[in-house]
Amino acid sequence: MQVIPVKEGEIVPGRPLPWSVYDGKGRLILREGEVVEQAKTLDRLLRRELYRADAEGEPVKPKKVVAAEMEPEISDSFASLYHQLQTCVLSLRERRAEAVKQLEGFAEQVQAYYQSKPLAAMFMLHRPLDWHYGALQTLRIALLCEGIGQRLAWPLQQHQQLICAALTCQVSFLLEQDVLSRQSVPLGRQQNEFVLNHPASSAYLLEQNGVNDHDWLDAVRQHHEHLDGSGYPRALRERAISPLARVIGLAEYYVARVTPCAFRRPVSPRTVQQSLYRERGHAFDSEASECLIKEVGFYPPASGVVLATGETAIVAEVRPSAMHSPRVVSVIDASGNIRESMCWRDTSQPEYHIEHPIEDTHILPLDWDRLWSYCTQGITQV
């Protein structure tokens, strides 16, 4: 099948698309008949590598990503996003003139990172990092929202609103989260009030910066609401909760559960997924929950597993055709000794099948940067 790049001038603002548009990995970006209303939005789109369906309407085939594209420096790219997020938050909290424009541009960078390096993004989402809790959690939530949003195939504008809302849903609370994450004693009355009020105060801060997008603001106000009314601050139910807020709340729940803090031990991604599966349609949106589970996979990159041999291994590569049998890197031998020389294991082989996931990889005494560098040398595809 012929792959047809989208050329400048083929998408006209205000006119329905004559074909669907995909990125370089074959993921749907715009559906046939969808309209790009603004030239500014179109300019941002055309900066990316875009393709369209051929004459028969077939989508482009996903490109195979070889190990050379999975450079170790990708962790530096993630760190750059982390630092940029802190700068954006500071600009918003100080109400600087270009704060919102800066945030919108940053949201595009977050989307581009996930779209170009989904395996690396998933690895950084799950690997232990001793960084500022609030900024790290927010960045991870936004990246996960990007993955869920792709699977939901929302219109471009709604997808962009999702990432902007995910990055700002805790903007009034981000710095204070670092303190609370290290606090092992129960929250005091004032701290509880601060937590309960942060959705409203974050939305208010955005309004003070000139944000008037109601969908964006509603998503920030409602991202801790649950379909069954068990959320906060207003105990909203079902249709009263915006679609954007449902996705952000889901991503926030997942990221919080797999990340340690002083008052909560983390659990494995598999354990969280089982919880979400049970709660789908109750606390959390069914469609969004299914999209998250599919996007993350049963054993996501950087999650830990114990093999039939007794070895401890870290997941490095998930194959779409074998979701239950990822390729892993053995890091601790059956005797409990750290391997000086790591080695690959294929869990589709009976002797290396997965016995069970590891609930907390943060306690493993591993050099994660060295591990990631090793993984990039043996990854065959994303």
Query: Quick count: other Cβ atoms within 10 Å of Cβ 193?
Result: 11
**What is the mean pLDDT of the segment spanning 48-70?**
50
pLDDT digits (tens, 9 = 90+) for 215-225: 999 999 999 99
Angle at alpha carbon of residue 336, lines to 331 and 341, rounded to 5° = 35
Say which range, 56-60, 90-94, 346-350, has the weakest mean pLDDT: 56-60
Q: Which of 222, 220, 219 is nearest to 231 (CA)?
A: 222
Q: Looking at per-residue confidence, does 340 or 309 come out higher? A: 309
What distance in Å separates the CA atoms of residue 363 and residue 28, rounded to the nearest whole number? 39
The residue whose two tokens read 């790009």 is: 36
* pLDDT for residue 257: 94
Query: Quick count: other Cβ atoms within 10 Å of Cβ 380?
Result: 12
* pLDDT for residue 12: 80
Task: Read off the pLDDT band of 67 (50, 70, 90).
Answer: very low
pTM above 0.85, yes or no: no
Tokens of 217: 């603001």
Task: Read off the pLDDT band of 66 (50, 70, 90).
Answer: very low
> Mean pLDDT over all residues of the chain?
85
What distance in Å separates the CA atoms of residue 80 and residue 84, rounded to the nearest whole number? 6
Q: How many Cα neighbours within 13 Å face the side chain of 139?
A: 30
The residue whose two tokens read 């299914």 is: 290
pLDDT of 71 strictly over 80: no
**Residue 9 backbone zone (phi > 0: left; psi -120 to 50: alpha; other: beta):** left
User: 224-263: string of b/e by CB count within 10 Å (b at 16+)?
Assistant: bbbbeeebeeeebeeeebbbbbbbbbbbbbbbebbbbbee
**What is the mean pLDDT of the segment spanning 310-338?**
89
Tell me: cis bond preceding 233? Omega within 30 of 0 counts.
yes
pLDDT of 56 strictly over 60: no
Task: Read off the pLDDT band of 363 (50, 70, 90).
Answer: confident
Task: Read off the pLDDT band of 65 (50, 70, 90).
Answer: very low
What distance in Å separates the CA atoms of residue 65 and residue 208, rounded to the nearest whole number? 43
Q: Looking at per-residue confidence, does 64 or 23 come out higher? A: 23
pLDDT digits (tens, 9 = 90+) for 13-36: 777 778 777 766 566 666 676 667
Cα dihedral across residues 6, 12, 13, 18: positive or negative: negative
Q: Which of 173, 102, 92 is nearest to 138 (CA)?
A: 173
Structural domains in the chain, CATH included, are 4-52 (no CATH), 69-296 (1.10.3210.10), 304-378 (no CATH)
pLDDT of 99 strictly over 90: yes
